[in-house]
């Protein structure tokens, strides 16, 4: 049996193509949901839209500090994995659910595969970086989205277990973007949720000041964490008063595709959305000073913004003014061909993990 451990919005999106590919090959699978994300629009909607069966188990770990989430997931997962004793555990991305999955499966000596392995920003203060380091080193096989992740895995002595498959989010994007849906007008799409951008009032204020300087309609499907932090810092009304900004609830993946396809620019701190910007043809301002998706940064597709630095803000505003939608044939292609799931399943068979 293969157990998928997931629990966050981006993990449901990464799970879908691999689940369907393994199902096609008749493998017995079990989905364990950690419960880290639990709102309908952060969890259930993705299972429905991406046609993934309801999780076999939900550990209901819920929210809390990093230690609380990680340990709650571990406690629930240990019991279940010990009962199931699967032949393989698959973990995804870089969240606390990924970390808990890695530690638990590893202590139970269950073989483990990491989808989206090898990603590094070389900033240990970034919570996701710690999770990736542990997940990669404990996993038996890594599936890398791009050449940069492969090289970075190699630098840490993991060359022999790392394989370039292309990005599994590209599979999901390609399979769901069949009708090339758009909303009726061109927009700037914004998402905002990372710890670096929500824990300090000054940082949140600097982002609000940046948004105020952007021209054109901005649509922001807001992560619950961001809304909560804005309210607790007394900044909610200030943000709401920006005339050209429309704040909406988090959207399902279909609506997200429409928004991305309608954007001439994406402003985000999301690892996933910043990469998807290149799939959808909208250049991206990435609001954390972290080295992600090196190739897209070098290609001038992603511009990194430090909203607290006036020079960086100036450069981002020029970038924003000049950004126009980019035709399919001119979009950078660093993340494979949309068949990562097939390659992952082939590799798992070839290396006798399944």
Q: Which residues of this chain interact with ligand UDP, rule CB under 6 A?
A: 9-10, 13, 169, 191, 193, 221, 250-251, 253, 256, 270-273, 276
What Cα–Cα distance (Å) separates residue 55 from each residue in 3, 68, 108, 236? 11, 22, 22, 35
What tokens were used for 95?
């969240």
Distance of CA 331 to the CA centre of its chain: 20
| 104 vs 172, beta carbon nearer ligand UDP | 172
Name which of 250 and 338 has its Cβ closer to ligand UDP: 250
Asked if residue 38 binds ligand UD1 (CB under 6 A), the reply is yes
> In this structure, are residues 280 and 260 in contact, taking their beta carbons and an 8 Å threshold?
yes
339 binds ligand UD1 (CB under 6 A): no
Give the DSSP per-residue string, 100-115: HHHHHHHHTT--EEEE
**Which candidate, 181, 191, 186, places its Cα nearest to that of 215?**
186
Among 29, 34, 95, 277, binds ligand UD1 (CB under 6 A): 95
Among 4, 9, 14, 33, binds ligand UD1 (CB under 6 A): 9
4 as an active site residue: the answer is no
> How far apart are alpha carbons 292 and 309 in whole angstroms?
19
CB nearer ligand UD1, residue 186 or residue 291: 291
Nearer of residues 37 and 343 to ligand UDP, judged by Cβ? 37
Query: Per the structure block, which two tokens stand in for 144?
Result: 């890398």
Instruction: Tell the smallest beta-carbon distance from residue 131 to ligand UD1 (Å).
Output: 7
Contact set for ligand UD1, span 266-295 (CB under 6 A): none
- Determine the Cα–Cα distance for residues 100 and 61; give it in Å rounded to an integer: 11
Single out the segment in contact with ligand UD1 by CB under 6 A; choices: 45-53, 118-126, 152-160, 221-229: 221-229
Show Cβ contacts of residue 333 under 8 Å, excluding neighbours closer than 6 positions: none
Contacted by 36, from ligand UDP, ligand UD1, none: CB < 5 to 8 Å by type: ligand UD1
Sole window of 3-11, 78-86, 114-122, 158-166 interacting with ligand UD1 (rule: CB under 6 A): 3-11
Contact with ligand UD1 (CB under 6 A) among 181, 182, 217, 228: 228
Cβ contacts of 305-310, under 8 Å, gap ≥ 24: 305/210, 305/267, 307/203, 307/206, 307/207, 307/209, 307/210, 308/202, 308/203, 308/206
Verify binding: residue 224, ligand UD1, rule CB under 6 A: yes
* Cβ-closest position to ligand UDP: 272
d(CA 9, CA 97): 11
Task: Tell me how far, at minimum, the Cβ of 226 lies from ligand UDP, in Å.
Answer: 11
Binding-site partner at residue 96 among ligand UD1, ligand UDP, none, CB < 5 to 8 Å by type: ligand UD1
Among 287, 310, 308, 304, residue whose Cα is nearest residue 206: 308
Catalytic residue among 193, 223, 339, 351: 193
Residue 149 to residue 143: CA distance in whole angstroms: 9
Q: What angle do CA 181, 184, 185 make, to 5 degrees?
A: 115
Give dist(CA 39, CA 45) in Å, integer: 9
Can you tell me the distance from the alpha carbon of 5 to that of 23, in angstroms, rounded to the nearest whole number? 16
Q: Minimum distance between the CB of residue 221 and ligand UDP, rounded to whole angstroms?
A: 3
Contact flag: residue 33 with ligand UD1 (CB under 6 A): no
Give the x/- contact pattern for ligand UD1 in 176-195, rule: CB under 6 A: -----------------x--
Residue in 49, 116, 128, 171 binding ligand UD1, rule: CB under 6 A: 128
Report the partner that residue 127 touches, choosing among ligand UD1, ligand UDP, none (CB closer than 5 to 8 A by kind): ligand UD1
Query: Rounded to whole angstroms, how far apart are CA atoms 266 and 285?
Result: 6
Min dist CB 275 to ligand UDP, Å, is: 8
- Residues recognised as catalytic: 193
Residues found near ligand UD1 in the complex (CB under 6 A) = 8-10, 36-39, 42, 63, 66, 69, 94-96, 127-128, 193, 224-225, 228
């Amino acid at each position: 049996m293969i157990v998928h451990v997931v629990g966050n919005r981006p993990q449901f999106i990464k799970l879908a193509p691999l689940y369907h590919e393994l199902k096609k090959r008749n493998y017995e699978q079990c989905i364990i949901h950690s419960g880290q994300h639990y709102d309908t629009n952060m969890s259930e909607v993705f299972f429905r839209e991406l046609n993934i069966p309801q999780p076999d188990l939900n550990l209901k770990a819920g929210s809390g500090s990093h230690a609380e989430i990680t340990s709650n997931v571990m406690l629930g997962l240990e019991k279940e994995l010990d009962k199931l004793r699967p032949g393989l555990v698959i973990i995804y991305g870089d969240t606390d659910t990924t970390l808990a999955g890695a530690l638990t499966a590893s202590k139970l000596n269950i073989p483990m595969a990491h989808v989206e392995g090898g990603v590094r920003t070389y900033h240990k203060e970034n919570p996701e970086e710690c999770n990736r380091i542990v997940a990669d080193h404990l996993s038996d096989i890594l599936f890398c989205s791009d050449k940069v992740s492969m090289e970075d895995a190699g630098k840490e002595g993991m060359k022999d277990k790392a394989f370039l498959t292309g990005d599994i989010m590209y599979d999901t994007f390609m399979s769901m973007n069949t009708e090339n849906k758009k909303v009726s007008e061109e927009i700037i799409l914004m998402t905002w949720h990372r710890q670096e951008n929500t824990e300090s009032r000054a940082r949140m204020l600097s982002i609000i000041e940046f948004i105020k300087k952007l021209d054109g309609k901005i649509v922001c499907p807001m992560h619950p964490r961001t809304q909560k932090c804005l309210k607790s810092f007394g900044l909610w009304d200030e943000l709401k008063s920006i005339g050209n900004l429309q704040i909406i609830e988090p959207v399902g993946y279909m609506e997200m595709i429409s928004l991305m396809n309608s954007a001439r620019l994406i402003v985000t701190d999301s690892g996933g959305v910043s990469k998807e910007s290149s799939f959808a043809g909208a250049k991206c301002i990435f609001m954390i000073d972290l080295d992600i998706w090196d190739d897209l940064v070098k290609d001038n597709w992603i511009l990194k913004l430090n909203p607290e630095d006036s020079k960086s803000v100036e450069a981002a505003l020029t970038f924003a003014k000049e950004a126009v939608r980019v035709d399919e044939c001119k979009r950078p292609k660093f993340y494979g061909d949309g068949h990562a799931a097939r390659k992952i399943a082939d590799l798992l068979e070839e290396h006798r993990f399944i």
